[in-house]
Amino acid sequence: MRNGYLRRRWRFPRTLAGCALASLVGTVGLLGSPSTASGAPATPPLNPRPQELSVTGTPLDLPAAVTIVRGTAADQPAVDAVVAAFTSRDTRVTLTSTDPGAGTTVYVGGAQETPASAAALNAIGVATPSGLPDQGYLLATGTDSGGRQRVVLSGGQKVGTFYAAQTLRQLLTSDSSGAAIARVTIRDWPAFSFRGGMDSANPPPPGVARWTKADRLEQVEVLARNKMNRFFYGPAADPRTGGSGSDNWRTSYSATELGDLREVVSKANSLHVAFVYRISPEMPLDQASGICHSSATERGTLLSRLNQMYQIGVRHFVIAWDDVFPTRPFSCVNDSQTYGTGVTAWARAQADVTNFVQAQFINAHAGMGQLYTVSSEYAGTAVSSYRTEFDTRLSTAVGVYWTGPEVLSPRITKKNLDDAQVAFPRHRLAIWDNFPVNDQVWDRLQMGPLVGREAALSAAPGILFNEMTQQGPSQLPLLTAADFAWNPGQYQPEDSWSRAIDVLGGSKASQLRTFAEINRSSVIDRTDSVALADAISSFRNALRTGTGVDSAAAALKQRLSALRTASTDLQATQTSLTTQAQPWLQQTVRLVDAATRAVDLLTAERAGQTTVANTLRQEIRHLLPTIASHPESVAHGVLHPLVTFALRLGVDRVDLSGDGRADVLAVTGNGTLNAYENLRTTLNWPELGATQTVGQGWSTSQLPVIGDLDGDRRADLLSVTSTGALVQFRNTGSFTGGMFATGVQVGSGWQGTLAAYLADLDDDGRADLLGVFPGGTLRAFRNTGMSNGAVTWGPAVQVGQGWSTAELPFFGDLTGDGKADLMSVKSDGSLWHFLNTGSFSEGTFAAGQRVGAGWSGHLAMHVVDLDGDGPADVLGVLADGTLAAFRNQGVTNGLVGFGPRTSVGQGWHANMLPYPTDLSGDGRADLISINGEGRLFTNINSGRFVSGLMFPTTAAHGPGWGGTIFLR
């Protein structure tokens, strides 16, 4: 699907050789397996898991040579696979069309393909297959009464025999004389009639991998090896499938382009994998240039395009209407005259064109697969006027794809399917599963297993899985999806994932598992980096209690070392998985190096080794720009927060639990202070805990000032009362009503102040205090530590003057030295900065320098790190509602240079403003906001200074936030 989306609220607008396959019949390393319950010898693990398997005795020790019998009608790809399976085990083969009558013999094909297979089954006491479901097979091994070894692959159809060959390949093991094979009887068939993988992601940003012809050729082989029979081609990166630009769906492929596709189609057809071609005539990336549905010329162009694909062997097609806005006007006036207006008019137009393709193209050619379509309302289960009209108008010969209850569905149940079928009563729904696609989280690999799908979904005719823009890494989750699609009733995600890791990893399976575990999470499973997260948590707890610090640090560093070693080892292998994962493998090494120093820093800090800790802190700061220059994210929300935590980033942010990730703090309209724990942020939507009331009596005239007063890396609070008293509320570390200790007065004389701030001015990890006093004086108070649980301040130092309610300072670390600098916007809209000199005196801030313009009427401004490189950038909401970002390009002669304005959002206004906060703990400011309907939204920062890519997705966290007077 080609959309931005709103999480949980969709609006319809618009051996390693097993990975880099030399050929379909290459060998796969086989693994040990537990004995069966009866005590019979176990078989090697099989993927997909067979429906019925009986171990009938001890394995057959095969001789150095076997005879393969294949009838004149035998499936040649199956024969090729069987030959290759034996030769890979150093077993010589002789091919014949008749039973030799003696010696170890392998029969390839059911009775219709290889008649001798029926007698062979009878000889080893196995009944011939009858009543096998579509695509099913019987595979039996054993000895006849004379001791002759027989192996029979009997498919109900040719494709069944081909699938039997894929099982045989996995059953064979090597021994000293050549090969051995488990003694089994297997009856097997797929639950879903069609199963497949998809190259159909949104076009990735520059620098992100796209599928190549080599990827597609390899993908077809992977699908065939794992008994999947569809390859769906519809990448938005190919404009002819429906993208934007002059070479859109109306333009035929060039001879070179067509030749590349023909090669993939030919490969697929030869391996019982149907190539599915998708075309989106409404051009969801440029809807204004989409098809004129009623135009005979446009329809003729569509037929011409489909015919071009037919000529190269494509027999399966999808006419897709997804990701368009059926509330927009048609692209041509004639459509409005023909179909009317509104969503039902779009439904009529879409169904009309689809029916035209069915009648004039599908029905006009022999041997065509069923035509499928994707409606504009392809997710969800509700009945709607659009769906009713589309279903009523659409020919019943056409199938319909559906993505589940959501665009990216964490769970899909049989009830979801049944409910959706009510909305499309005349058409059976097939499942388009948007897993493991990462086209909304380009910076991440999603390599975990398929979860959250009920076995009863096999009531649908088929299921396809939309893959990542990295074909090689997609194979790991895809193998688990293949296992589910074949036999959902016996699918076990963790077991399937382990088997897939072993198949794809071979001798490096352990390293692949280590890497995959920190790249596991996706929308359907937020589990990520569990062992690493536990080790980090244990280390943090040890630091807080002072117990077992050294052992916890050693355990964490051992795990980090293993992760670094695994990532380094995998970089040395040459497979599509490891090659395409290379940027993430390299980023893992960089982050591990920073994290290891972070552990040492925190340990040294705990031991009072200040010089050592400061040296390590500088080393980490020097690593940050390189890490930030690579957008790839690994162990998201787990590994990077350890570095953030060690660097004391966000001393003035809302990290209430001290885990390196910001939590959420809000004051309601009645003055209640509520806290929401950030449970995890392994994807682009933080999981927030239940509401915890942690204070009362706040108001618009007395709001919290947030900062870490005691250096424990947990946010404390200050407030200025109406009498001018400065009151401290220290964080106890308990995420309950007792989170903040009883208020303690820690200052006076603050009545009439225009603003109060907490910011670290001297890089000691404790927030210092600043205030703009009546008369416009800016004063700073150094945090000198805690005394009897109360913060103490040094004497007031005047560090500026001339401030007013119309011009207040903003604080942030522009140089990355851990010391807050100051910025302001003058009345003429010019932007100024005042760099921190490091001297806690009247000269704390250097003379102001003009660094920008155009800020007149701005609604908000923040000095925050947007790319995670250490120095703060500038983020602001301009007068027209544009959210603008300005990248910090470094300091030259005391002047910070900022890059050009990048628009990273629109539509903000005084009643809906974003607040920056680091929810994922990666050192990059994310956003939190409340819309006009009282819903809380978060936007995770991708670190890309590109319009539309810095905050690529919006996550909604529920209603009930209306009237909030303070949000951080």
- Supply the residues annotated as catalytic: 323
- Give the Cβ contact number of residue 364 at 10 Å: 12
What CA–CA distance (Å, rounded) separates 470 from 577? Answer: 8
**Going along 782-906, which residue ranges are E strands?**
783-787, 790-793, 797-800, 810-812, 821-825, 831-834, 849-852, 860-864, 873-877, 883-886, 888-892, 895-898, 902-905
Residue 545 half-sphere exposure, CB side, CA atoms within 13 Å?
11
855 DSSP assignment: -
Q: Do the Cβ atoms of 588 and 515 come closer than 8 Å?
A: yes
Please give the span between the terminal C-alpha atoms of the chain, in angstroms, as a whole number: 33
Burial letters 245-276, b for 16+ CB under 10 A, else e: eeebbbeebeeeebebbbebbebbbebbbbbb
Element (H, E) at 628: helix 610-628
Q: Which residues contact 774 (CB under 8 A, 6 or more apart)?
A: 752, 753, 754
Q: What are the contacts of 146-149 at 24+ separation with CB within 8 A?
A: 148/102, 148/103, 148/104, 148/105, 148/123, 149/60, 149/62, 149/104, 149/105
What CA–CA distance (Å, rounded) separates 43 from 53? Answer: 10
* Residue 48 preceded by cis peptide, ω within 30: yes
- Give the Cβ contact number of residue 304 at 10 Å: 11
Report H helices in 289-373.
Answer: 296-311, 333-339, 343-357
Closest by CA to 688, choosing from 656, 712, 641, 647, is 656
Pairing of β 230-233 and β 274-279: parallel
Q: Which residues contact 114 (CB under 8 A, 6 or more apart)?
A: 69, 70, 71, 73, 74, 107, 108
Pairing of β 664-667 and β 849-852: unpaired
Tell me which amino acid residue 557 is. Answer: K
- What the block records as the tokens of 966 is 């303070």
Q: Do the Cβ atoms of 93 and 168 come closer than 8 Å?
A: no
241 DSSP assignment: G
Three-state DSSP at 49 gives coil
HEC letters along 595-622: HHHHHHHHHHHHCCCHHHHHHHHHHHHH
What CA–CA distance (Å, rounded) separates 373 from 448? Answer: 29
What CA–CA distance (Å, rounded) separates 840 from 81? Answer: 76
**Distances from the Cα of 186 to the Cαs of 37, 163, 674, in angstroms?**
17, 12, 60
Q: Do the Cβ atoms of 305 and 291 come closer than 8 Å?
A: no
Tell me which amino acid residue 852 is. Answer: G
What CA–CA distance (Å, rounded) separates 342 from 827? Answer: 48
| Displacement of CA 173 from its chain's centroid (Å) | 36
Q: Which residues contact 827 (CB under 8 A, 6 or more apart)?
A: 806, 807
Instruction: Compute φ and ψ for 582, nearest 5 degrees.
Output: -50, -45
What CA–CA distance (Å, rounded) separates 230 from 878? Answer: 49
Tell me which amino acid residue 629 is. Answer: S
Tell me which amino acid residue 211 is. Answer: W
